[in-house]
A = this chain, B = another copy of it.
Amino acid sequence: MNSPIHEPAPLQPGTLRVTPIGGLGEIGRNMTVYEFGGKLLVVDCGVLFPEEHQPGVDLILPDFSPIRDRLDDILGVVLTHGHEDHIGAVPYLLRLRQDIPLIGSNLTLALVEAKLKEHRITPYTLTVAEGDEERFGPFSLEFIAVNHSIPDALAVAIKTEAGVVLHTGDFKMDQLPLDDRITDLRAFARLGEAGVDLFLPDSTNADVPGFTAPERAIGPVLEAVIQKARRRVIVASFSSHVHRVQQVLDAAHANGRRVAFMGRSMVRNMGIAADLGYLRVPDGVLIDQKKADDLPDNKIVYMSTGSQGEPMAVLARMANLEHKIEVGRGDTVILASSLIPGNENAVYRVINGLMKLGATVVHKGNAKVHVSGHASAGELLYCYNILRPKNVLPVHGEHRHLVANAELAMQTGVPEENIILGEDGVVIDLRDGVATVVGQLDLGYVYVDGSTVGEITDADLKDRRILAEEGFISIFVAIDPQTGRVIVGPEIQSRGFAEDEAVFDAVKPQIVKALTEAAENGTRDTHAFTQVIRRTVGRWVNTQHRRRPMIVPVVIEA
């Protein structure tokens, strides 16, 4: 692994080229480019959320460089489902070429259209459903129902002269889902019997033994918790998890409570889901939040966002008493959600805060209020055995997930040499049932920060990490370059270093002395004077404080 970078040779006729440019080595920014006969088909176009070593970054996009010069060759973008890690980067792709057709299910397209509206883009769309077959140039697509933690998810079989590829998108195999729409194993079987040349399965839960519990198991737990609740109930979950919200609505209704949606994305997405018939709202159960506040405490359920401890979301604001709904003794808060790695401290801070206010907090650590949206190892084994794919490229996971998925493939008899453990930018050519790694592109992370895309670099993030760890000291002087005499300054500013600016009084004479000496020794240029200040202050701060703040000298010749 850690493949050396090498550009692939030009694509030969009759060969399908597969290039995942996101989602291999990370959970997020899923995007795969398929090329045949000079035409491109993209599957998914998602974002990745930053980790703590990427401070201030809003989103991370796939690196579009492999397709940037070939935008006109793109026949369409298939969106497997409506989660951010599969659709979040669409606005940034459409900024490059606005009329790329988007292909997806009814709900998926409704969610991406709502997102694009905020970016003032009206996309070209083609709505498809399970069972549909569509032809785009050399690509024949067959769409297959899969079950996931958002309704209306689709796998896509991509058929070209070079063979058949099955791209699952995210999925699990809940056998009794709320909407009775199961992952279509009959279609998988039919494809398998005809021959699947390359299989790209979801790896998220490949290292989890057994089977993902059914979503339906949560309903009775929610109902029991709500029944026991003495005062208000606040449920936090993901704003796209229609079936989870459905179960909250049903549990509230069964207990004679009404439900108010809170948080912009929750209100928006559930409006879409209800309009399109994915969310069945029991008569009269919904109530506007403003009116909800007038109901007796034991007649209301607030359905909110913020289950990951996001500081600006409803739940964290409640925990900090910064929200008009003042949580107190007797209230019950349910976090009906996963705990995404990296969010633990933030989530526990929210839980501790709510408990200090007197609330009872129910979460996946103490009750069965969450199940995953991804197939566990047991389910993936079913898939491999039904499909018997010739080649496998595990996708959608960190390296450890991809390895676990590869091991499952091997256990079902896929030869090790037919399993590709790749990373973003791996280039795979498929022809005559043989999949070969033919290149490794050099792709980077593209950071969105505020309205800027790609302006913030890894160097900036390194600076930010240093600033975060140690703060900075900036030193301004205007000097006479001939004598090194300081005419204005040294003026010292610092942030994140020490409260008391008087601490710098000790170093100012040292700076003046060092500059004069440097000039006496023949130094004349500004950059060299800058280095003198950097060394002087650096040495002082290290010996006096054992610290390494960023040192930012500014020298002006006067």
Which residues of A come within 8 Å of B, CB atoms?
Answer: 1-2, 25, 51-53, 55-56, 207, 341-342, 344-345, 348, 351-352, 355-358, 361, 365-366, 398-400, 403, 449-452, 455-457, 459-461, 463-465, 467-472, 474, 476, 478, 488-489, 491, 493, 495-500, 544-547, 550, 552, 554, 556, 558
Q: How far is the CA of A352 from the CA of B1 in the complex (A)?
A: 11
If A207-B365, A355-B403, A547-B452 touch, does A467 touch B495 (CB 8 Å cutoff)?
Answer: yes
Q: A496 to chain B: which residues have CB within 8 Å?
A: 56, 460-461, 463-464, 467
Complex: A449 Cα to B549 Cα, angstroms: 11
A400 and B351 contact, CB distance less than 8 A: yes
CA distance A460 to B468 in the complex (A): 10
Contacts A25-B352, A352-B400 aside, 4 further interface pairs with beta carbons under 8 A come to A56-B496, A463-B496, A476-B491, A491-B556
Find the B residue at minimum CB distance from A353: B399
Q: Is there an interface contact between A400 and B499, defined as CB atoms closer than 8 Å?
A: no
Given A25-B352, A471-B464, A547-B452, A488:B488 Cβ within 8 A: yes
Residues of B within 8 Å of A547, CB to CB, are 449-452
The one of B403, B450, B478, B545 that contacts A450, using a Cβ cutoff of 8 Å: B545
What is the copy number of this chain in the assembly? 2
CB distance from A501 to the nearest CB of B (A): 12
Q: How far is the CA of A355 from the CA of B203 in the complex (A)?
A: 15
Residues of the B chain whose Cβ atoms lie less than 8 Å from the Cβ of A491: 476, 554, 556
**Pairwise interchain contact A478-B467, C-beta atoms closer than 8 A:** no
**Complex: chain B residue closest to A53, CB-CB:** B345
Contact assessment for A546 and B398 in the assembled complex, using a CB-CB cutoff below 8 Å: no
**A457 adjacent to B341 (CB under 8 Å):** no
Closest to A461 in B: B496
Whether B56 pairs with A471 at a CB distance below 8 angstroms is: yes
Q: Are A455 and B499 in contact (CB under 8 A)?
A: yes
Closest 9 CB pairs of A and B: A468-B468, A450-B546, A467-B467, A56-B469, A55-B468, A451-B546, A464-B496, A450-B547, A341-B344
Residue among A366, A464, A478 having the largest count of chain B Cβ atoms under 10 Å: A464
Which chain B residues lie closer than 8 Å to A52 at the CB level? Answer: 52, 345
Bound: A469/B311 CA distance, A? 14
> Which residue in B348, B474, B499 is a CB contact (below 8 Å) of A474?
B474
User: Are A499 and B459 in touch, CB under 8 angstroms?
Assistant: yes
A452 CA / B552 CA spacing, docked (Å): 22
Q: Which residue of B lies closest to A456 (CB)?
A: B498
Cα(A474)–Cα(B461), bound, Å: 18
